[in-house]
Amino acid sequence: MDEIYPLALALVTPLWRGLSAEYKTKYRRTIWGQFENQIRSAAYTTTLSLWYSRVCSRLPIDVRAEDTEDLRVYLTSGQDRALLRIFREEAPTIVTLLRVENEARREAQKGSDADHARVPGRDDRAVVDSA
């Protein structure tokens, strides 16, 4: 995979995480399409900082504090032209990568939650074959 894709994904991930949960719930059937469209349409500009500003003004995004430093680094990476082209031409690919990443994180979290919910002694018993 081209090295620009991980950078593009790293830029949209904090935006997705910062998107209002109420908004995601209200528009749960169309949210991914809306997000993709805003990523694409905001990319018709000259700098990543303008792109970021446009996306955040069109969607209720409040970037989490722990994501701000990473976001600053990515926005000042000097890859404006390449990233804006990717967002314009391949927004569906970037959003699909984001969805796959989210699903993997959710599955890992489910596995972690299931491990914590185990009852020692009862769930750890070996299954004995009575043949």
Taking only the tens place, the pLDDT of each residue in 82-92 is: 999 999 999 99
* pLDDT of 42 over the 80 cut: yes
pLDDT on residue 111: 77
Its sign, for the CA torsion 79, 82, 85, 91, is: negative
pTM of the model: 0.80
Q: How far is CA 117 from CA 38, 55, 122, 126, in A?
A: 39, 39, 12, 18
Rg, C-alpha atoms of the chain: 19
Structure confidence by residue, pLDDT tens digits, 96-130: 999 999 999 889 988 776 665 555 554 444 444 44
Give which of 73, 5, 75, 89 is closest to 47, Cα–Cα.
75
Of residues 109 and 40, more confidently modeled: 40
- What was the pLDDT predicted at 4? 92
Look at phi and psi of residue 121 and say left if phi exceeds 0, alpha if psi is from -120 to 50, else beta: left
- Tokens of residue 61, six digits: 């995004």
7: pLDDT strictly greater than 50: yes
